[in-house]
Amino acid sequence: MGTQSFDVSFCDKNVAWSSHSLRFVPGKADAVKCTDIKGGGSANSEEGASNYSKTVDRQRVPFSMECQLCTGVALFVLVSLHVLVMYDLAGMIISVYITVLTPLISVFYNVSQQAQVHLYALNLSAVVVMAVSVRYKRDFSFLFLVVLSGVQLHVLVDVLLCKRREDSRALSDPRTCVLICLLVVGNGVAAYFLWQRSRARDYSPPEHGLQALMLVLNACLYIHAHQHASH
């Protein structure tokens, strides 16, 4: 068998065979790229860097308050509909939503490293709660309040230590510390009450309403404490 030699030019994409020629006409974008590589590489790199910085700045645009409010209302309505339709699995529905939403918070919001650790702990606890609830056929969603109490205590201790070490004005309002302590006590009382009712087969709207209220209060106070710490 005879062999055929060929030459390849990557700029104009010519493939020249000894037996016959196949020419691929480069497009305008390829021609511009080849010209920039030969003569204007520095200008192209500067333009690419500026475009990249614009892209990064566009990605860092914070969500408006209206957007966050509409998203929160939509999630509340969606969770309420799921609980009303599948009220027997309310604890499992809460676990699923926490498992799905906690990683998304780290993606869409610029949270601190400490908040990422807390979100990971909450995500992991939701997976454990689902597994234990399926295994023992009981509602163990009250364990979320225990985990959230640990998170709140960690935030309180960390901020107080930071304030003492750096003599900063973080959490200068002592009412925030008092609210965290009261919320931890409330989490303990609610968790004990829900633990006693975890074996019950009947659906109790006040119980799940209490659990939802405590989850919302923990989220609001956590955000409030981080805002004070950032200032």
Q: Which pLDDT does position 109 carry in this prediction? A: 81
HSE of 40, CA atoms in CB hemisphere, 13 A: 11
Mean pLDDT by 10 residues, the chain (231 residues): 54 51 45 48 51 47 75 86 82 88 85 89 92 86 92 86 56 75 94 83 77 91 78 58
Q: Are the C-beta atoms of 203 and 224 separated by less than 8 Å?
A: no
Q: Which pLDDT does position 149 carry in this prediction? A: 94
Q: Which pLDDT does position 46 carry in this prediction? A: 53
CA nearest 187: which of 161, 157, 158, 153?
153
Please state the pTM of the whole predicted model. 0.65
- Collapsing DSSP to helix, strand or coil, 15 comes out as strand
Q: Which pLDDT does position 19 carry in this prediction? A: 46
Strands 21-23 and 14-17: antiparallel
Q: Which pLDDT does position 8 carry in this prediction? A: 54
Q: Which pLDDT does position 170 carry in this prediction? A: 47
Q: Which pLDDT does position 63 carry in this prediction? A: 63
Q: Which pLDDT does position 72 carry in this prediction? A: 83
- Collapsing DSSP to helix, strand or coil, 170 comes out as coil
Distance of CA 36 to the CA centre of its chain: 40
